[in-house]
Amino acid sequence: MRSTCRFFVPALLALSLMGCGSKPPAEETSSTAPAAAPAAAPVDPATAAEITGTVSFEGQAPSRVRIRMDAVPACTEASKEPVFSEEVVVNDNKTLRDVFVYVKDGLGNRTFPVPATSAVLDQKGCWYRPHVLGLMTGQKLNVKNSDPTNHNVHPIPTQNREWNESQPPQAADLAKDFARPEVMIPVKCNVHPWMKAYIGVVPHPFFAVTDEQGSFSLQGLPPGDYTIEAWQEKYGTQEQKITVGPKESKAITFTYKG
Amino acid sequence: MRQADSVWVHWFAVLTAFATFVLIIAGALVVGHDAGLSVPDWPLSYGSLMPPMEGGIFYEHGHRMIAALVGALTIALAIWLWQRDARRWVRILGVIAVVAVITQAVLGGITVLYLLPVPVRIFHASLAQLFFCITLGLALFTSRAWAADSAADDRGFPGLRLLSCAATCAVFIQLILGAALRHGALGLMPHIAWAAAVAVLVIWMGYVALARLPRSETHLRWFSGSAIFLVILQLGLGYGSYYTRLVTRDASQPDQAMIHVTTTHVAVGAALLGASLLTTLLAFRRLRHRSEVVSFNRGAQKTAA
C-alpha cells in the first residue's frame, strides 16, 4: 500500500502539472489595459499601392453537407432554412468564398495603428457569422449571441491564449483580442459542434476575406515586394510573390483545384 | 455483519458498480459528441445546478449529474461498510473508493478549467476504469460467492490465477492505450498491437477456466466465458470504431454512427475489464494453487505418519 502511494501520488501531481503546463504562456487579455502601441511608420497616401484579385476554383465543386440541428429545437427554430457546411463555398462564377488573403511578408519592421473599431463575430441561427474573419493583433473582437439559446465560445489558438466562455441568450458581448499574429485560429461551440469559425490575426491591416464574387482587395500598401498568402479551410494555403510600385494597382489570381 | 445487512450491502455495492458503468458510458458520450467544453465552468454549470439541457450541455452536465450520483452512492457504501463490515480491508477499500471518486471529480474539473489537457484526460479515463474495478470488487467481496468455501484446485500450467491476473492487467493497459489514442496522445498501432496480446490472454484464460474447472464453479466459468465473448465483440467494435472515425474524419459534426460504435467500444472495454477482474479475484479466492495442494498433502502425510 505504501509503495503504491509512493507511485500514485507523485504520478497524479506530475500529470496534473504536465496538463496545466501545456498551454501557451499567459498574455494580456481584454480585461487588462493594453500596452501603448509603438509609433506607427506612416504610409504615404500619395504613393500607396493596391493588390486586388480573385480566388478561383477548378474542378468539381464538392457537395455541401447539410447540417443536422434536429437535436436542438432552439437552433432549428432559429434557422428555418436548411443550413449547409461552409467548409468549401464555390460561387456561381467558379470562385471561392471565405478565403483569407493577407500580406505574409514584405512589410519589414513597419508598425500599424490598431483600428479603433471592433470586429464582430455573431452567433445567429446557431451559426457563426461570418465564417472567416480577419483581425489585427490587439484589435477588439466582439462576440455576440443573437440566438435564444446558450453558446460557448472556444477559440483554439496555438500562438495565443486559449479560452472558453459561456454566452447565454441576451448576454453582453464578449470583448476579446489576440496579442500575437496567428493564421488561422479555429473557433468552435461545443454545445453545437457544427459551429465553426476561423479568425486570421495579423500585425497589419492588409488582409481580406473573399466575398460572393471570390474577390479581395488589399489597399493602402506601401510600394515594395510582397508575399501574399491565401488560406482556405479545406485546401490549405497558397503563396504568390508580387512587386507593386508607387500608386500601382496589380491583380493576382489564386487557383484551388477540387 | 448480519445476514440481512450482508444481502442489502451487496446489492447496494452492485448498484454502485452499475451506476459507475453508466457513468463510463456517459463519459464516452461526452467525448463522442465533442462536448467536454460545452460547459465552461465547474463545479457549477453555466453558474447553476441545472442549466438548459440542450446540445452538448445535455451530455456534459448529464455526465456531471451521474458522477454526483455515483459519488453519493460511493460515500454511502463506504459509510455502510465502515459501520457494518467486520473485515478491516473491506472497510479500507470503501474509503479508497471515496478517495478515488473525489480524485476523479477533481480531475474532471481540471479537465474543464484547463481546457482538456491531454495527460489529465487520459488519467481521468484510466482512473474511471480503476474506480469501476474497485466498485466491482466491493460488490464481489460482499457477495455470497466470496463467502463460500473454496473448492477446486488450480491445476495445470499456467494456472487460472496467473492467467486471469495477466489478462486483467493486459486489458487495463489496453484501456489506457485506448484512452491515449482517443485523446490524441498515441497513434493507432500500440492499441492494435496490444489488442492481439489481450485477445490471446483473455481467450486462453476463458479456455482454461471452461476446460479445467468443474461445473460447480458457476461464477468463475460464467465470468471467464463472458470475457471470451466480450473480447471477440470488442475486436469487432475496435475495427468499427476505426472505420467510422476514418470515413467521418472530415464530417462537419460528430457522426451518430461513429458516436454509437465508439461509445459501445468503451463500454464493452469496461465490461471486459470487469469480467477479467472478477475472474481473477474469484480465482484467487476459490482456487487452491498446486503448491498449496502439494504442501497440504505433505502435511497430511506427516500427520498420518
Higher pLDDT, A56 or A170: A56
Q: Report ipTM (2 d.p.).
A: 0.83
Asked if residue B289 and residue B165 are part of one domain, the reply reads yes
Q: What is the pLDDT of residue B305?
A: 31
Kindly list the residues from chain A whose CB atom is less than 8 angstroms away from the CB atom of residue B257: none
**CB of B97 closer than 8 Å to CB of B131:** yes
Q: Give the minimum alpha-carbon distance from A141 to chain B in angstroms, rounded to a whole number.
A: 20
Asked if residue B137 and residue B185 are part of one domain, the reply reads no
Asked if residue B184 and residue B142 are part of one domain, the reply reads no
Domain boundary among B147, B169, B189: B147
- pLDDT tens per residue, range A20-43: 333 443 444 444 444 444 555 578
Kindly list the residues from chain A whose CB atom is less than 8 angstroms away from the CB atom of residue B40: 152, 154, 164-166
Higher pLDDT, A125 or A3: A125
Q: Does A154 touch chain B (CB under 8 A)?
A: yes
Range of the domain at B125: 1-147
**CB of B60 closer than 8 Å to CB of B36:** yes
Q: What is the pLDDT of residue B290?
A: 61
Q: What is the pLDDT of residue A38?
A: 52
B174: enclosing H helix or E strand: helix B160-182
Would you say the C-alpha torsion A63, A68, A74, A76 has a positive or negative sign?
positive
Q: What are phi and psi of A123, to 5 degrees?
A: -110, 105
Asked if residue B289 and residue B161 are part of one domain, the reply reads yes
Asked if residue B120 and residue B6 are part of one domain, the reply reads yes
Kindly list the residues from chain B whose CB atom is less than 8 angstroms away from the CB atom of residue A233: none
Residues B137-170 as b/e (b if ≥16 CB within 10 A, e otherwise) read bbbbbbbebbeeeeebbbeeeebbbbbbbbbbeb
Asked if residue B301 and residue B286 are part of one domain, the reply reads yes
A178: enclosing H helix or E strand: none
Q: What is the pLDDT of residue A27?
A: 46
Q: What is the pLDDT of residue A1?
A: 39
Cell representation of residue B216: 460447480
Asked if residue B156 and residue B138 are part of one domain, the reply reads no
Domains of chain A and CATH, by start: 111-212 (2.60.40.420)
- Average pLDDT of the residues of chain A: 86
Asked if residue B195 and residue B133 are part of one domain, the reply reads no
For residue B36, give the nearest of A16, A165, A190 by CB distance: A190
Domain boundary among B147, B170, B189: B147
Asked if residue B275 and residue B167 are part of one domain, the reply reads yes
Q: What is the pLDDT of residue A16?
A: 41
For residue A164, give the nearest of B40, B120, B253 by CB distance: B40
Number of domains in chain B: 2
Domain boundary among B121, B147, B173: B147
A176: enclosing H helix or E strand: strand A174-176
Asked if residue B273 and residue B166 are part of one domain, the reply reads yes
Asked if residue B300 and residue B195 are part of one domain, the reply reads yes
Q: What is the pLDDT of residue A248?
A: 95
Tell me: pLDDT of A103 over 70.
yes
Q: What is the pLDDT of residue A28?
A: 40
Q: What is the pLDDT of residue B298?
A: 46
Other Cβ atoms closer than 10 A to B284: 15
Sequential pLDDT tens for chain B (305 residues): 555 568 899 999 999 999 999 999 999 999 999 999 999 999 999 999 999 999 999 999 999 999 999 999 999 999 999 999 999 999 999 999 999 999 999 999 999 999 999 999 999 999 999 999 999 999 999 999 998 876 677 777 889 999 999 999 999 999 999 999 999 999 999 999 999 999 999 999 999 999 998 888 899 999 999 999 999 999 999 999 999 999 998 888 999 999 999 999 999 999 999 999 999 999 999 887 766 554 444 444 433 33
Q: What is the pLDDT of residue B6?
A: 80
